[in-house]
């Protein structure tokens, strides 16, 4: 099915990353000029070809793209657009106001209620929210007191849902929000952990990420000078070397995945991976949570990815996922021969 194009596009991003997204787009797609900007949403005007949402730009800082129809005046207008495009569903989602942990709960609740009202209204007018893969979906991004911004995209198998988010539960025993980062990194990359796979987790404490890995059947060797949460450490398959990665000389021969969420500069992570690389021949993939400590870390990202390639990690890519704040995922396949 051909996806209708538009002279406008919008991308959802993490609030605070708008400037990184615009800088990235200037390099990737200079034909797309920034138009409107809100926290968590940047729209672009296509100055050459119309925007084709079936081939969205591979921007690190955009977590979802829509061909844009712009702000809507009423629910009726959204329903009319849904009918004209023949979409399967409308996904109404509140625009991110900031990291969920930092937004006042009353503001979050108001934004959710506002979106729910519009969702109900659209549903009453025959536009529901169930969309199978392979169907066009209307994206309706709301914020209290603002006109909803409306666009569309083709939903594909495994892709995130409304608002560029995946739907999953965080167990109450997860000792940190890093649980979310691991779940989303696995969903985004499609990396398949096999039962018993050994994950070397650098910077694992208190253990949200460890919990996500063991829940999926993996074993985890945590390397962190701080102790893991006792309940996580007690899980079958979890062990810890209480040290910095710089102090680790010998790794088990069967490390299958490397995860790194240590609060150390990218150059130090690269140095550790380079030093340990001869022992990582059987590694299938690397999940690295790269901290954007300085503005220059985003600008240096391509160099960091290139360096990872030089060390022997293949097809490195980066993406800022909904669970990230001032950080992002760097994923690479393991060294050649894995």
Ligand X SMILES: C[S@@+](CC[C@H](N)C(=O)[O-])C[C@H]1O[C@@H](n2cnc3c(N)ncnc32)[C@H](O)[C@@H]1O
Angstrom CA distances, 228 to 166, 171, 181, stand at 27, 17, 17
CA distance 37 to 45: 12
Q: Which of residues 143-202 bind ligand X (CB under 6 A)?
A: 176, 178, 202
Q: How far is the CB of 282 from ligand X (least distance, A)?
A: 21
Q: Which is nearer to ligand X, 56 or 322 (CB)?
A: 322
Q: List the beta bridge partners of residue 150.
A: 70, 140
Q: Which two tokens stand for residue 220?
A: 């985890």
Minimum distance, C-beta of residue 276 to ligand X, in the bound complex (Å): 12
Q: In this complex, which beta carbon is closest to ligand X, that of residue 111 or of residue 183?
A: 183
Could you please report the per-residue DSSP string of 145-197? TSPPEEEEEE--TT---GGG----PPPTT--STHHHHHHHHHHHH---PPTTP
Judged by CB under 6 A, the residue of 209, 312, 316, 322 near ligand X is 209
Residue from 208, 316, 322, 334 touching ligand X (CB under 6 A): that is 208
Please identify, using beta-carbon distances, which residue of 51 and 257 lies nearer to ligand X.
257
Helix (H, G, I), strand (E, B) or coil at 104: coil
CB of 177 to ligand X, least distance (A): 8
In whole angstroms, the minimum distance from the beta carbon of 169 to ligand X comes to 17
Contact region for ligand X (CB under 6 A) — 77-85, 158-166, 257-265, 300-308? 257-265
Kindly list the distances between the CA atom of residue 15 and the CA atoms of 61, 64, 87, 261, in Å, as whole numbers in the listed order: 10, 13, 28, 21
Site for ligand X in 223-252 (CB under 6 A): 223-226, 244-246
Q: How far apart are CA 221 and CA 139, in angstroms?
A: 41
Q: Does the footprint of ligand X cover residue 132 (CB under 6 A)?
A: no
Residues that bind ligand X (CB under 6 A): 176, 178, 202-209, 223-226, 244-246, 261-264
């Amino acid at each position: 099915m051909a996806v209708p194009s538009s002279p406008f596009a919008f991308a959802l991003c993490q609030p605070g990353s708008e400037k990184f997204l615009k800088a990235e787009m200037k390099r990737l797609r200079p034909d797309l000029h920034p138009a409107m900007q809100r926290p968590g949403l940047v729209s672009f005007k296509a100055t050459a070809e119309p925007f084709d949402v079936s081939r969205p730009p591979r921007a690190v800082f955009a977590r979802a793209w829509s061909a844009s129809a712009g702000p809507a005046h009423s629910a009726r207008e959204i329903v009319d657009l849904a009918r004209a495009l023949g979409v399967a569903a409308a996904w109404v989602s509140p625009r991110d106001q900031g990291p969920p942990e930092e937004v006042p709960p009353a503001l979050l609740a108001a934004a959710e209620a506002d979106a729910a009202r519009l969702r109900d209204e659209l549903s009453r007018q025959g536009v529901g929210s169930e969309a199978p893969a392979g169907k066009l979906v209307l994206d309706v991004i709301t914020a209290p007191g603002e006109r909803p911004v409306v666009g569309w995209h083709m939903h594909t198998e495994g892709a995130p849902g409304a608002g560029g988010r995946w739907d999953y539960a965080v167990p109450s025993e997860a000792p940190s929000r890093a649980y979310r980062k691991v779940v989303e990194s696995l969903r985004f990359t499609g990396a398949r952990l096999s039962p018993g796979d050994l994950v070397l987790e650098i910077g694992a404490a208190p253990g949200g990420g460890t919990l996500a890995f063991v829940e999926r059947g993996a074993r985890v060797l945590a390397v962190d000078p701080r102790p893991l949460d006792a309940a996580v450490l007690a899980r079958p398959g979890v062990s810890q070397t209480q040290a910095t990665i710089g102090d680790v000389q010998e790794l088990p021969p069967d490390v299958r995945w490397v995860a790194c969420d240590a609060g150390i500069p990218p150059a130090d992570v690269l140095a550790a991976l380079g030093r340990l690389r001869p022992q990582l021949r059987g590694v299938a993939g690397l999940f690295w949570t790269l901290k954007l400590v300085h503005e220059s870390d985003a600008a240096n990202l391509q160099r960091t990815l290139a360096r990872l390639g030089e060390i022997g990690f293949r097809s490195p890519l980066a993406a800022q996922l909904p669970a990230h704040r001032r950080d992002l995922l760097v994923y690479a396949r393991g060294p050649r021969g894995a």
